[in-house]
Amino acid sequence: MDTSIVADSSIITYYAPYKAKLETEMNRVIGYADHYITRNRNAPESLMGNFFADALLWKGKQLDPDVQASFATKDGIRADLHAGNVTVGNIFEVMPFENAVCILTLSGGDMLRLADYMVKTGGQPVGGMELVIENGKAKEFLIQGKPIAPDALYKLVTYDYLANGGDYITFFDNPIARKDYNQLLRETLMEYVSDLAKQEKHVQVKLDGRVQIIK
């Protein structure tokens, strides 16, 4: 294709209204970020990972008040959020996939397998959990501030891609229970930002030590 090919004006006329409508929606402002929210695949914790996991935990507790923690992966987060207005398009860049929210009931043993995965991968985005890694092992692993009990059950919110074994995850292979929702992960992020805006709050994220690596 080159400049010798003339655009079909009838086709342009047909799709132009849809293109304009899409651009209007993508540019719609849903909130405001006080600072640049960045990813960092080489760090155990990142601003973007905390934002992502906190939004997921927020929605999980709405869907099921017994949810205690959230889990995502670094590779699932595809963009940063720049300081300033947050638009629908920005959230599409962060999560371009059609992943949907999923709540799992896991044994304490499977939660410990989750901790082992985080140790091997140098940390992952989580909410409601704290993990300290030392000398290649989990030195401390807490959920809602308490140590994991191998014989207890835990409710965790994640998304279907991971629950189905994506990103080489095996510790979700035998949950005590699983409930899938039609709630898209992307919609969850939008709702989280919009809810903050309704409360006249901005998106503010900090590193809080939820995942630490001690050399």
178 located within any domain = yes
Position 13 scores a pLDDT of 59
SS3 content of the chain, % helix, strand, coil (to 5): 35, 25, 35
Other residues' Cβ atoms within 10 Å of the Cβ of residue 90? 23
Please determine, for residue 14, whether its predicted confidence score (pLDDT) is greater than 50: no
Closest CA to 91 of 100, 102, 80: 80
**Is 1 among the domain residues?**
no
Percent of the chain exceeding pLDDT 90 equals 87
Whole domain around residue 152: which residue ranges? 9-208
Task: Calculate mean pLDDT across residues 61-90.
Answer: 97
In the numeric block, the tokens 């692993």 are attached to 141
Q: What is the pLDDT of residue 25?
A: 82
Nearest C-alpha neighbor of 195 from the set 186, 203, 185, 207: 203
39 falls within a domain? yes
Q: How do residues 165-176 score in pLDDT, each as one tens digit?
A: 999 999 999 999
CATH, residue 136: 3.90.780.10
Q: Percentage of the chain surpassing pLDDT 70?
A: 90
The answer to whether residue 110 is domain-embedded is: yes
User: Helix or strand or coil: residue 139?
Assistant: strand
Q: Is residue 70 a part of any domain in this protein?
A: yes
d(CA 77, CA 128): 19
What distance in Å separates the CA atoms of residue 10 and residue 7, rounded to the nearest whole number? 9
Question: What mean pLDDT is predicted for residues 192-196?
Answer: 98
Does the pLDDT of residue 17 top 80, yes or no? Answer: no
Residue 57 belongs to a domain: yes
Q: Which two tokens stand for residue 10?
A: 């009838």
Q: Tell me, yes or no, whether 3 lies in a domain.
A: no
What is the rounded CA–CA span in Å between residue 109 and residue 149?
Answer: 8
pTM attached to this predicted model: 0.89
Residue 6 has pLDDT above 80, yes or no: no
27 within some domain: yes
Contact between residue 93 and residue 27 where contact means Cβ atoms under 8 Å apart: no
Number of structural domains in the chain: 1
What is the structure's pLDDT at 195?
Answer: 98
Q: What is the pLDDT of residues 116-165, one digit of tens each?
A: 999 999 999 999 999 999 999 999 999 999 999 989 999 999 999 999 99
Q: Is 103 helix (H, G, I), strand (E, B) or coil?
A: strand
Question: Quick one: pLDDT at residue 76?
Answer: 92
pLDDT of residue 4: 58
Residue 92 in this model has a pLDDT that exceeds 50: yes
- Nearest-angstrom CA–CA distance, 107 and 155: 9
pLDDT value at residue 8: 52
